[in-house]
Amino acid sequence: MNIKKLKFYHFRNYDKASFSFEKNAVHVLQGKNAQGKTNIVEGIYFLSLLRSFRTNKTVNMIRHGQSSFVIEAEVETKGRVEELKAAVSGTKKQLFRFNDPVARYSEFVGTVNAVLFCPDDMTLFSDSPAARRKFIDMELIKLSRSYTATLSHYQKLLKERNQALKQPCPDQTLIGIYTKQMIADQKIIIRQRAAFVKELMEKAQKLYPFFSGGEEKIDAIYETFAKEEDTETAMEKMYAKTLERDIQYKNTQLGIHKDDFLFLLNGMPVVQIASQGQKRSALLSLKLGLAQIIYEKDGQYPILLLDDVFSELDQDRRKKLIEMLPHEMQIFITSAEPIPKDWFDRPVKFYEIENGTVKEETHERTEE
């Protein structure tokens, strides 16, 4: 998938900006700090998911002194061209496809499929389990509609079960009914989470050595309360054991809402032993692994957004990263340091970003 044209109106520090991008090319957005490089990445990400990776408040993205912003794009996906437009004022979003209003977010979200690497992702390993669950869930939600449906059904049941536990005299029959239904959902979710983590790690393990140049192996253990092969009856017994505690705490103690994913480097927790560079390499392997999974499922690569990916990577690893990026993928890289042109053996475009203005510097094409 490729973005061919992108326009910003009153978005962040851009008043009015227009970009044209190349199919399957690398786009290097360079410039000093605080000039608007990440803002471009954020704009593309917003078009993909209708939210930012930097703020929960869309109003923060409106250019100071203005009351709304618009992002427009011409996108090529699976041989088709799409024209997308998102207009945001306050908390209100208006969406358009070929200038026709789009009623539902779900009909808009995902038209642009993007995989993002940003410096904040580095906290994935040290964050709470909830952050790691969110990471896995977000990707599974994008990949599988049935996963989304099962997960939200489970979450609804969990809320109802917790509600029942909060009653002065909890109705154990009702709680039992919820438990049974939750177990049915969880059998599916556990299977899907386990399969996804296995697939992701298989891909990441192949990619990681390209970065590290060494023998280290990354892995992840999916930690959940039950084994995949546990029967529903076995799981019911686990719930029966914790029921007293659940009633005492007025909260469900057991379930996939407590799951965690333990990332390992050479069998040791990444968070305990990995250097910054190793963490970055591990994350990049995960992100590129993800792009490959999407490619295999979707038949096309997502757009890859690499924000500030080069800090903490030495020259060697920077070069290697560029070398290993699939050629059939459109890529955006922000960098405050210039990247040498001769690192690329593929189409690359350089943009100089200065205070919300863009200068297309050079346009290099090398034969493949």
Binding site for Mg ion (CB under 5 A): 37-38
Site string for ligand ATP, 251-290 (x = CB under 6 A): ----------------------------------------
Residue type, 364: E
Q: How far apart are CA 321 and CA 331, in angstroms?
A: 12
Which is closer to ligand ATP, CB of 38 or CB of 224?
A: 38
The CB density around residue 139, as the number of other CB atoms within 10 Å, is: 18
Q: How far is CA 358 from CA 20, 29, 132, 134, 341, in A?
A: 11, 9, 36, 34, 19
- Shortest Cβ distance from residue 353 to ligand ATP (Å)? 6
Distance of closest approach, residue 12 Cβ to Mg ion, in angstroms: 11
Strand order in the sheet with 2-11: 14-20, 2-11, 68-77, 80-89, 92-97, 100-102
At 287, list the tokens.
């992100």
Per CB under 6 A, which of residues 300..319 are in contact with ligand ATP? 308
| β 260-265/14-20 pair status | unpaired
Closer of 21 and 239 to ligand ATP (Cβ): 21
Whether 265 and 217 have beta carbons less than 8 Å apart is answered as: yes
Q: How far is the CB of 334 from Mg ion (least distance, A)?
A: 5
179 binds, among ligand ATP, Mg ion, none (CB under 5 to 8 A by kind): none
Residue type, 123: T
* Number of residues lying near ligand ATP (CB under 6 A): 19
Under the binding rule (CB under 6 A), the answer on residue 334 touching ligand ATP is: yes
* Contact letters for ligand ATP, residues 37-76 (x by CB under 6 A): xxx--------------------xxxxx------------
Q: Which residues bind ligand ATP (CB under 6 A)?
A: 12-13, 31, 33-39, 60-64, 308, 334, 336, 353
